[in-house]
Chains A and B, each alone.
Chain A
């Protein structure tokens, strides 16, 4: 499973980076979204992969709760997901506005050449 998980991060990151380097704004937005999946999975993975031990203390017994998965990366990723949506929206609107002003959807605001 660890290898699969790591490969998934790699594939998502590779697809994201490839799109980041593309010239059209929509490609860059999709690329950023893919990159954020990869990064969120990566940070989440820092807590190691554990099946069936969600960070929820069962029945108030503290001693048993020590066996759960590391909750800190999860807390970090949770807010990152929501903020990721907000910044994607901001980027989209900025790029749309830029297209309205410059007349092109090239990331540099003008067609190459």
Chain B
């Protein structure tokens, strides 16, 4: 349970902090710091349980059959990382509180920082590989948001995009790799995977799987050849660089390598790939760091280099090297984070991080200078500091790692060289910034920052010293469980003491110091106080390669899109329709149409008459839709009526009722839309009769004819087959006994398939609200803003201009409809409720009832005018929608509250006067919800559209067209 808290607390805190006001720096810092501190305390509290090679677990079964459970597990190694993440988080929050300026929007910063912390804790505590990858992606995402924190800056946006592209691409490879690994091992459970080393390494997939997992780990840890994103990520605020891009997130890659070390390591391929990448990063990073101008640039490349060192250690296939790697992960986090914080302080107090401009700050900022110098010394590996210890171990390992003269001599030599570079850039950083003559022309006059800003890095530096002087007593007790948890009983003996005598590694250290001082002197002597880039780096410039790849991909995608698709809707639709025809035609062409065996119904002359009208209307609507829209609409209505009559004819009274009602509202809707369409007269368009246009129409005619003919043939074949005994029997047999209703269609809708209906009314509600929202920002085309003549006449003769709210009847000419319309509303309401109530047993129900009520409202508007109606009553369709969804959802939850399944039907029958027996219960409540939603959604759409004409008439100044 504690584990869940550790992972969840940061996310919850992040959510809370997102809603605090933009200037609440102190509240944010207390909240974030509190979360981080609580995680630290919880982690520390678990130490007794993991110290003796114990393990804490938390499992929530989810999709166990697919191997996906929510599984948190904490062993010694995970504990060490969890402590690092949460403790470093606490320090960074304190630091960030003073680093961020009052103008920065803090909620965004702290909420993403906390989200990152939660994701990182999720990675280290994951006991399931897929779950680990999900948290992995979350860290990439929060890193993206934090790098782009100052998104008004180009470099921040670019750096963030690059970091996300590289790490997310790696994350994808990792996912594939992990799935392969899980498939080989037979489980995604970490414990079972770790136990399957032999099986995994002998599997033919091993090389591919290993490469994919390494791609994930190496991109995350900014290892060669993916190291280029890390320096660009330095556009992030310095607390982020200290936390994500040196101490924790970039460690996720090496964490994963160490985590999977028992199952993946030990092969030749592992040695070549991992130590190769590590070695290259170690050297490239160290060399590049020496030539940076930006303090954070130096630190970024040195991070690449130190992570390279860790990767190299992990790649050596030696258990002692693994110990050194874990040890160095911790050491690097402490000294590098404190260096970043110092760099941030310098930037904060002087206004620049440019090494060419900074000089002699030790006079103005003695404490900062001391802290930075000690941290840099730890980075260089000076004795009595923690960096020295792990570097000694590294040197010792290089001596024994390889076989053959090249590796036996080469590796120690390379290690010493890298050590020398490390000494050189550390020296350069401290010497140039803090020593020499004080610089006068800085943007701000430097002075010591507040004590609280210094505190985090001071604490970290103290840790460096304590670990460096008393390693066995400080780091020993926490390193041992970590090592044991990875290696189990094979954990090697190792010695954590400061002095091992004049051994070869010590000689190498001394050589590195001498070499480093020499390199720095050379660098300085040749006047290169700083240059643009390192020599020899140009061909390896990852950023250029990255940019080229991105541009090429972009062009390729554009070309593919242009090849495979069109911007023209007509062409797209033509292709789609033709393809559908072809796809449907292939099986028919190959197997032939089956012959119908069913009995044909005899033709009824009355139906033939209706049929003829329906078909003529459809063809007429198609022909007239361009130049005679009103005629086309009327004919569309004719086809709709034919459809409705067909439903009625063939035993579907519910459908017929609904279709008729929908016909009415669709017609009103389209009529309202006509007002905003442009004038289109045949005489204005000479192109209409051109040969090209005729050809195009002929082609479309042929396609339409083929589709129509095909569909007709298909329908005929199906209609003449004998009915299939499908799921219908179930509904027919059980509608009355179990659903308690005579109308099977309605019982299916509100009971058996109630969940579908709930989804459908939700869709209707969303669509209605979308329409409403779109119309609020509606800007009509300029030429249709002008108020139409009929509306102007109506206004002049007693419409809007001299509107009298007290009048009993709306103004205007049609007096008799005006009288009738007032009577209509209560009658229509009665009919609607009647249809709703009887729906369970006879044709009717919520859908048709709602439509009838909505039509009644719309009729009021049509006859009375919006002003007159709204003076008397406000329909408030949004409330109807909300109430309806609440009722429908409530009906479902009611069943849950009674201990049944969601939307199970409850209730009994009561007798109402006139209406007869009515079943009262959750089903009726649900249908009432449907009823309310349909009323609300329909009238919301229609009233919103109707208001558009009204708005432009009321507001002539805004539209500018009413004057004419």
Contact = CB atoms under 8 A, between A and B. Distances in A.
B743 A56 contact: yes
Nearest to A92: B673
B767 interface: yes
B662 A90 contact: no
Given A50-B650, A75-B745, A88 B715 contact: no
Contacts, number: 328
A31 to B, nearest CB: 8
B676 interface: yes
Nearest to A79: B760
Interface bracket on A: 35 or more
Interface string A51-80: 111111110101001101111101101110
Contacts of A18: 622, 700-701, 703-704
Contact of A26 (B629, B647, B651, B763): B629
**Interface SS of chain A:** helix
A2 B601 CA distance: 7
Given A4-B608, A18-B700, A81-B658, A89 B767 contact: yes
A15 B618 contact: yes
B719 A5 contact: yes
B854 to A, nearest CB: 10
Residue with the highest number of chain B CB atoms closer than 10 Å, among A2, A9, A90, A101 = A2
Nearest to A100: B779
Contact of A14 (B640, B650, B707): B707
Given A55-B732, A83-B763, A93-B945, A21 B659 contact: no
Nearest to B731: A71
B961 interface: no
Interface stretch (B274-282, B429-437, B529-537, B569-577): B569-577
A71 B753 CA distance: 12
Nearest to B777: A97
A30 B716 contact: no
A21 B574 contact: yes
Contact of A51 (B640, B649, B726): B649
| Contact size range, B | 35 or more
A88 B663 CA distance: 12
Contacts of A26: 625-626, 629, 632, 673-674, 677
B621 interface: yes
Given A5-B646, A21-B573, A56-B742, A49 B778 contact: no
A51 B651 contact: yes
Given A48-B723, A100-B778, A21 B700 contact: yes
B779 A53 contact: no
Interface stretch (B60-68, B391-399, B507-515, B768-776): B768-776
Nearest to B678: A105
A88 B705 CA distance: 24
Contact of A99 (B632, B677, B774): B677
Nearest to A75: B748
A112 B640 CA distance: 33
Contacts of A75: 745, 748-749, 753
Interface string B558-587: 000000000111100110010000000000
B803 to A, nearest CB: 27
Interface string B829-844: 0000000000001110
A103 B574 CA distance: 25
A42 to B, nearest CB: 6
A108 B568 contact: yes
Interface in B420-441: none
A111 B378 CA distance: 70
B655 interface: yes
Q: Which A-B residue pairs are the 4 nearest by beta carbons?
A: A14-B708, A10-B712, A18-B704, A6-B716
5 contacts: A11-B708, A56-B742, A70-B728, A82-B847, A99-B781
Given A83-B763, A90-B771, 14 more contacts: A8-B614, A12-B615, A13-B712, A14-B708, A24-B680, A30-B625, A40-B655, A57-B743, A85-B665, A86-B763, A89-B767, A89-B945, A97-B779, A99-B677
Interface of A: 1-27, 29-31, 33-34, 37-38, 40-42, 44-58, 60, 62, 65-66, 68-72, 74-75, 77-79, 81-90, 92-94, 96-97, 99-101, 103-105, 107-108
Interface of B: 567-570, 573-574, 577, 598, 600-604, 607-608, 611, 614-615, 618-619, 621-622, 625-626, 629, 632-633, 636, 639-640, 642-643, 646-647, 649-655, 658-659, 662, 665-666, 669-670, 673-674, 676-678, 680, 700-701, 703-705, 707-709, 711-713, 715-716, 718-720, 723, 726-729, 731-733, 735-737, 742-745, 748-749, 753, 756-757, 760, 763-764, 767-768, 770-771, 774-775, 777-782, 841-843, 847, 851, 934, 937-938, 941, 945
